[in-house]
Amino acid sequence: MTSLYDEVQTPTDGVPTRRVTMTVNGEKRTVDVEPRLLLAHLLRQGMQLTGTHVGCDTTSCGACTVLLDGRPVKSCTMLAVQADGHDVETVEGMGSASELHPVQEGFKEEHGLQCGYCTPGMMLASKALLERNPDPTEDDVRWALSGNLCRCTGYQNIVKSVLWAAEKMRADKGEDA
Amino acid sequence: MYPNRFDYESPKSVEEAIAILDRSGGEAKVLSGGQSLIPMLKLRFAAPAMIVDINNIPGLDYHHVDDEGNLHIGALCRHVDLEESATLADTHPTLAAAAGLVSDPIVRTRGTFVGSVCHADPQGDWQATMLAQDGYVVAQGPNGRRNIDMRDFVLGPFVTALAYNEVAVEAVIPGANGTPRGGYLKLERRVGDFATASVAVSLDLDGDVIRKAGCALAGVGGRTIDANEAISCLVGKTLTEDSIDQASDAVAAVAEPRTDHRGSDAYKRHIVQTFVKRILTNLAQTEQKAA
Amino acid sequence: MALDELKIGGMGASRRRVEDNRFIRGKGKYIDDVVLPAMLHMEVLRSPVAHARIKSIDTSAAWEVPGVRLVLTGETMAARNLAWMPTLSYDTQAVIATDKVRFQGQEVAAVVADDPYIAKDACSKIVVEYEQLPAIVNPDQAKNSDAPLIRDDKVNQDSNKIFDWEIGDKEATDRAFAEADVVSSLDLHYPRSHPSPLEPCGSIADYDRATGKLTVYMTTQAPHIIRAAVAMVAELPEHQIRIISPDLGGGFGNKVPVYPGYVISILASILTERPVKWIEDKSGNLISTGFGRDVYLKGEMALRRDGKILGMRMHTTSDHGAFFADAQPTKFKIGLMHSTFACYDVPAAHLTSDGYYTNKAPGGVAYRCSFRVTEAMYFQERMIHAAANDLGMDQAEFRRVNLVKDDMFPYRTAFGFLTDSGQYAKCLDLGLEAIGYSSFKAEQEEARKRGKLLGIGISTMTEPLGAGNSREYDIIGIKMFDSAELRVHMTGKAILRTGAKTQGQGHETTWAQIVAHELGIPADDIVVEEGDTDTAPFGMGTYASRSTPVAGAAVAMVARKIRAKARKIAAHLLEVSEEDIEWELGRFYVRGNEERGVTIQDCALAAYSNVPDGLEPGLENNAYYDPPNLTWPFAAYICKVEVDPETGVWDVLKFVAVDDCGVRINPMVVEGQIMGGLTEAYAMANMQYITFDEEGNCIGANYIDYLLPTAWETPGFELHEVVTPCPHHPIGAKGIGECATVGGPAAFVNAVMSAIEHTGVRNVDMPLMPNRVFDAVRNGQDISGMPPVRVD
């Protein structure tokens, strides 16, 4: 869908900005941004997509994970201008208005979240894993999620949530577990 | 958490990038994966006046082995590309062993091999693998290309021999003439931690005789430690308990560890020795099984 | 025709969580998601040095940055009497430093600007001149007569000592030691750690000059305490202060204290007449906010040759950083440290304690530990482990001899606690069976042939939860009750509000289950709200695992009040007297005539349309619960590890957890709490710690140095359940939030000690990082404490 207006990030006098266009959750968005603006901040403050969270300042925790062209990246360690011409998927883009993505369902079914702060990043990293490996082992899941920190769950239920989702996705495709 | 202001350019060719760097007079930094540079910008440890983003230059995201068996890694080849390679373990097993140990899986989708080497962090994994295998960096500047041997590439922590108007366009790691074998072990307290100590070992075998041996260490000194000479005691020999002990002692002796909150210098030196021994012993056992 | 309790989401149902619906869609509303019109952004400048006089501070360049609205220094705060504020431990704490900085990371200035990038730009233009002083980084240095006086701001403070405290019976304990056959002793250091919830702290202060009302969105686990504190500090009337705690990305005790950033943002809003948002970064959170632990624990046990414990002595020295800012019950200077050994029959005990100032972040906050109980239980189980070895007794057998037996309840401990229920031996036996204790020796032998060392560690403990009864417990004088308010609407749906504040524990799901249990209203028909002081009844918040024991009890009590009124309405509708009314889940019926009945929904409608004479209409009520006693869950945690003597790396082969937390409201939620707690225990045993170098520089002020385990390192846990209901709690529940964090670390450490005991090593203090384990094994020597890191 083409945007009917240009979103403008308010610059402070004389500060050069750059116009970039990216697709966010399937929707084309054009923005004027300072080059130093981090992608995480563009998503959160610029586009009010606050599901992407900021949990550290050393690229360690993964709470800011989004999918860039289908691959998980830490949006706090990317400049917004670098998303120019690319596809960004945030948690708000998972599932549809009427239906949750199996990963989202799995996290609820298997108690894969408590405070919910790491959850969007965890789910997107999990989604990316399942798209490349539809039948992961527990070790595969733990390895793929080792860039996402959680303080509440102890990870065991997160692993169960992902395996639950994997099974559902295989069943939906008509494959057996 | 918030970088300083900087100017930003996004060239569409290497030549354009070089021209911009040339004009900048040393005030610009090249941005590829950004997984090392952007954290430094956010903490304001780095504050360049300009960022030259090479991510939009086509044709740099390759990695392939040429007819002579040499591995060419383009400037935009991501860590994950090497981790997921089906053939790397056969041609360059040391790199294959290291690939999954670089940082964490999400950083690996974005960070680049060449960028990591250019960042020149003394604890960097890839530098150690390159140093152990006579790797070199191909730099391109206003006057054309030049090869910079890994030994000459890193001048100090976070400082390389690249001129301010040069871009590292690829890294080359020679292939083995005989059978390539190798390993990489890293002691990290958790995924993504900096190494307490790590060891890269590379062997070129003729049957079970070692024709060439390379070794380098990370995390045990203010720079990547070149242990090639130390491990050369293996050349002409086969892997036996004695030759393995000799090699691990020799390599441990050239480490330059410092005591810090990850451990004493004696401990780190011991880890180096243990890891060399384990890599070589594992290779010896695999050889026996194959035989 | 009673309703099926599990089907309506009552107690015992693993009801899927209500809060998940928004979290999995990324629609949670955490503090940084809240945006108010015309909002400004605040950034704090922190001191790079640990101890220094401030010679000068020049903010002129900061004011020049376009987009900057306000720059605050200690001087501007002092002019308004806000440079210092009281702490929850009757000390004072600097809001912005004036004369001196007393820890690395302390606030020295603040900038308010149009956006956080500009605020940060301006902060970096502020020039501060420091005159460095020697830094004190542990109590030993603090005690030294040559040590610089850290709190030279306090009148009558002539040393770095904060307090002395003692409890117990010294004479009886001395007698016990005189009779002992064997005395076992141990010196331990529980290193400084940090709760580090994934989301750091923050506030949005919004002062409306037109109405005089101050609204503060704040990451707080205890909004009502904060309202009172803000009233005191800012000298604003309490009824004109509204604290709103939104969704919290974890708490673990870190979000209980009042932080300088909150106070500065409030003043900034008053001065700029706009909402001011302050969100700290993770480094600010780690370096300056409420840490946990950092206690030295010295103990001795008097033992009889047959294994009976005769007495126990303990001395603790605690490091509180630059300001004594513990959030804990007033009467107990070292929290509930004296709950140590509560699960064992120990006739005599004595505890002495002192506390010191150092040049480190202030606090000692309860980090998922019920007021120092983590330290108490770690100490206990490490002592027990060492004592069993000193006696040459099997670890399990030694515990069996001394654990309080089922028929000994109610049991008065030597320190005066009254434990009331438990099946300690049963839990221990279950755990030993599950871990394969009887076949362990054979396993250990086999592993030794492979060059690996196997060990098993046990940790059994009961912990005091649900502080606490008003006779003994208060925080700055305010009693520690809690509350619930329930309003049942005319269509039988309801809204419940409590004085607690969930940070991931699932209150929106579990409190509704209690109401469903009491009233038969389906849990899905009950919405639960917490955190807004304008609407929530007064409570002391959620920390120290107190919510189920206290707020949960209040929920049950208010539901019962509602049911009692509904009963009267039912009698009226059924035209019988109240004595003839019986209750089953969801409905009242006439005794002897079960067909004749009315549902709770019928009663709700009638409350608004057809009440009997003399009864007030409506079906709404509240309850304030003063718990008669603490609750005492019990746990047996057993861990099996494999140590690699060549590197010091250890792996968990198996971990069994047997928890008895009384009646479980939602088994799924309970298990989630246990696994989360065990992971924190694993982290603390293994890698998670904060230390300092000789100059007071903090090592552990970011996630590069402060290590949290990922899914890759974290082991799996096998959970088992025993249920011994709490005799005094309305629904028999005891609470679970912190048990695993409290009891877990000793299980891991004891396991590693067991694996290496043949070397003669008795103790390696946490964290058991590979280099420490290796050094201990290689040298056959204990590794104690965490000396200041050498500056290279």
List the structure tokens of C372.
Answer: 């120092």
Q: C737 or B187: whose pLDDT is higher?
A: B187
Confidence band, pLDDT 50/70/90 cuts, at residue C76: very high
- Mutate which of A74, A84, A127, A146 to test chain B, going by most B C-beta atoms within 10 A? A74
Confidence band, pLDDT 50/70/90 cuts, at residue A175: low
B55 touches chain A (CB under 8 A): yes
| C-alpha closest to that of A16 among A41, A35, A31 | A35
| Catalytic center residues of C | 221, 368-369, 738
Alpha-carbon gap, residue B171 to B120, rounded angstroms? 14
In three-state secondary structure terms, A157 is helix
Percent of all residues in chain C with a pLDDT value above 70, rounded to a whole number: 99
Which position has the token pair 């690319």?
Answer: A86
From the list B8, B51, B106, the residue facing A74 with the nearest CB is B106
Q: What is the pLDDT of residue A176?
A: 54
- The stretch C155-169 carries a mean pLDDT of 95
Q: What is the pLDDT of residue C790?
A: 63
Which conformational region is residue A26 in: left (phi greater than 0), alpha (psi within -120 to 50 degrees), or beta?
Answer: left
Handedness of CA C310, C341, C404, C745 (dihedral sign): negative
Confidence band, pLDDT 50/70/90 cuts, at residue C475: confident
Q: What is the pLDDT of residue C484?
A: 97
Confidence band, pLDDT 50/70/90 cuts, at residue A1: very low
Q: What is the pLDDT of residue C544?
A: 80
CA distance C206 to chain B (A): 25
Mean pLDDT for chain B overall? 96
Confidence band, pLDDT 50/70/90 cuts, at residue C104: very high
Contacts of B268 in chain C (CB under 8 A): 771
C:372-391 residues touching chain A, CB 8 A cutoff: none
Q: Is the pLDDT of residue C536 over 60?
A: yes
Is the distance from CB of C45 to CB of C105 less than 8 angstroms?
no
- Mutate which of B270, B277, B285 to test chain C, going by most C C-beta atoms within 10 A? B270
Q: What is the pLDDT of residue A80?
A: 98
Confidence band, pLDDT 50/70/90 cuts, at residue C791: low
Residue B268 is given by DSSP the state H
- The stretch C364-373 carries a mean pLDDT of 84
List the structure tokens of B104.
Answer: 């964490």
Q: C753 or C541: whose pLDDT is higher?
A: C753
CA distance A71 to chain C (A): 19
Confidence band, pLDDT 50/70/90 cuts, at residue A97: confident
Closest residue of chain A to C706, computed from CA coordinates? A60
Q: What is the pLDDT of residue B126?
A: 97
C504 touches chain A (CB under 8 A): yes
- Distance between first and last Cα of chain A: 37
Q: Is the pLDDT of residue C780 over 80?
A: yes
- The stretch B109-117 carries a mean pLDDT of 98
Alpha-carbon gap, residue C603 to C589, rounded angstroms? 12
Q: What is the pLDDT of residue B198?
A: 97
Q: How confident is the model over A128-168, as pLDDT tens digits?
A: 999 999 999 999 999 999 999 999 999 999 999 999 999 99
Closest residue of chain B to C279, computed from CA coordinates? B1
Q: How confident is the model over B17-60, as pLDDT tens digits?
A: 999 999 999 999 999 999 999 999 999 999 999 999 999 999 99
Subunits adjacent to chain B (3 or more Cβ pairs under 8 Å): A, C
Confidence band, pLDDT 50/70/90 cuts, at residue B261: confident
| C-alpha closest to that of C360 among C254, C289, C256 | C289
Alpha-carbon gap, residue C10 to A48, rounded angstroms? 37
Residues 6+ apart with CB under 8 A from B113: B63, B73, B77, B78, B79, B82, B126, B171
Residue C517 CA from chain centroid, whole number: 28
Q: How confident is the model over C667-680, as pLDDT tens digits?
A: 999 999 999 999 99
Question: pTM for this structure?
Answer: 0.96
List the structure tokens of A168.
Answer: 């559902």
Q: What is the pLDDT of residue A10?
A: 54
Peptide bond into C347 cis (omega under 30): no
Percent of all residues in chain A with a pLDDT value above 90, rounded to a whole number: 86
From the list B192, B261, B271, the residue facing C647 with the nearest CB is B271
- The stretch C148-174 carries a mean pLDDT of 96
B49 touches chain A (CB under 8 A): no
Closest residue of chain C to A154, computed from CA coordinates? C676
Which neighbouring-strand residues pair with C40? C276
Q: What number of C-beta contacts closer than 8 Å exist between A and C? A: 178
Q: What is the pLDDT of residue C368?
A: 87
- Distance between first and last Cα of chain B: 55
Q: Is the pLDDT of residue C632 over 80?
A: yes
Mean pLDDT for chain C overall? 95
Q: What is the pLDDT of residue A177?
A: 47
Q: Which runs of consecutive H residues, i.e. helices, occur in chain B?
A: 14-24, 37-42, 79-83, 88-91, 93-99, 107-110, 113-119, 125-131, 150-153, 228-231, 241-254, 265-290
Q: What is the pLDDT of residue C326?
A: 86
Contacts of B44 in chain A (CB under 8 A): none
- The stretch A105-130 carries a mean pLDDT of 98
Q: What is the pLDDT of residue A9?
A: 52
Subunits adjacent to chain A (3 or more Cβ pairs under 8 Å): B, C
